[in-house]
Chains A and B, each alone.
Chain A
């Protein structure tokens, strides 16, 4: 099942009344959507509120989603409108540097948000510490796990493509990526718990 097929399946399940399916869509996209909204809204508490609002608006509008575009493209537009409405309601202008001028029908831009964009000195310090931890964790991984996770997360290759490059079955790729994530997340967890207690 490809990325698009996974989304389509989860959308159809949600449209059939399964809220759990929508929660998985949220799990898949909360990071990207949060970073997108952080380009409009600087305050971390507001960012989270607007992100949640965008997901709720998407859920309410899901009955009208026909799959003419990819789910994330559709969600992206809802998020931008939610952020714009939030700024308009609070009498603020859309920050011109945070958002490339786009039409409603444009495809989503890469919503890479660096830790520096998130602002507070505490968050910057924590982000630096997390980045160092991840680097150490990935250096300590066995070669096959490190290659698999890097090809997936940095190069964006599919499991099938990675299997082709590494000359192994797709199941092995899936297992290597999972074990790499587990190893890195294990070393990161104390910092992740700290991060969830202190709002970024």
Chain B
């Protein structure tokens, strides 16, 4: 297909447009004049008149205009709408408070003293039941996949995840066989 034919199809909204095609069609004065002529043919077939429009003068005016660039701005606006900055701060504070609260319940200052789960109001597994957790020696009941997952997330989650979260994570096989935390 020639560019002349592309211009004809473009006027009908039937042209596959690529940036390179747009550039060629718009930047070639002969093609633009061709587009104007084809428009006039259509107008005359429909019995319309075509008022004069100086394309060259318009291009000069357009060239003097600042370039429109809205892509980044629009994206950043939508991100702000979805997650305003004040919410980010609030959620950070809430997450920090939650981590401190859970840590203080799971690992009280006294050390290895067993907690009375009824008194604490939280289901806590005593360390003595599952053994001492360690990043180097993972809980034997954990599948290798879970352990790798926890290790991979250690930089993000801190030592809590890899060393101690295993106490609260059961392999899928255990869940499927109906075993429960004791």
Residues of A within 8 A of B (CB): 1-7, 9-10, 13-24, 26-28, 30-31, 34-35, 37-38, 44, 47-48, 51-52, 55-56, 59-60, 62-63, 112-115, 117-118, 123, 127, 130-131, 134, 138, 149-150, 152-154, 158-159, 170, 174-175, 177-178, 181-182, 184-185, 188-189, 192, 195-196, 199-200
List 17 additional contacts besides A3-B14, A178-B4; criterion CB under 8 Å.
A10-B17, A17-B69, A19-B62, A19-B67, A20-B25, A21-B26, A24-B22, A31-B42, A31-B43, A48-B53, A52-B54, A59-B65, A63-B73, A113-B51, A153-B41, A153-B45, A158-B14
A15 close to B12 (CB less than 8 A): no
Q: How far is the CA of A54 from the CA of B57 in the complex (A)?
A: 14
Chain A residue, CB-CB nearest to B9: A174
- Central interface residue in A6, A37, A123, by most chain B CB within 10 Å: A6
Contact of A34 among B4, B27, B53, B61 (CB under 8 A): B53
Contact of A10 among B1, B22, B48, B54 (CB under 8 A): B22
B13 close to A4 (CB less than 8 A): yes
B58 close to A55 (CB less than 8 A): yes
Contact of A15 among B23, B63, B68 (CB under 8 A): B68
A63 close to B70 (CB less than 8 A): yes
Chain A residue, CB-CB nearest to B44: A134
Given A1-B15, A62-B68, A31 and B62 touching (CB < 8 A)? no
List B contacts of A23 (CB < 8 A).
Answer: 26, 32, 59, 62
Residues of B within 8 A of A (CB): 1, 4-5, 8-17, 19, 22-23, 25-27, 32, 34-55, 57-59, 61-63, 65, 67-71, 73-74
Min Cβ gap A25→B in Å is: 9
User: Which 10 residue pairs across A and B have the least CB separation, nearest first?
Assistant: A3-B13, A20-B26, A34-B51, A115-B49, A178-B8, A23-B26, A6-B13, A185-B37, A63-B70, A178-B5
Query: Chain B: interface secondary structure?
Result: helix
Query: Chain A: interface secondary structure?
Result: helix
29 inter-chain pairs at a CB distance below 8 angstroms, sorted by A residue, are A4-B13, A9-B17, A15-B69, A16-B71, A21-B22, A23-B59, A27-B10, A27-B11, A27-B26, A27-B36, A30-B39, A31-B40, A34-B51, A44-B51, A44-B52, A52-B57, A55-B58, A55-B62, A62-B70, A113-B49, A114-B48, A115-B49, A130-B40, A130-B44, A131-B47, A134-B45, A149-B45, A175-B5, A182-B4
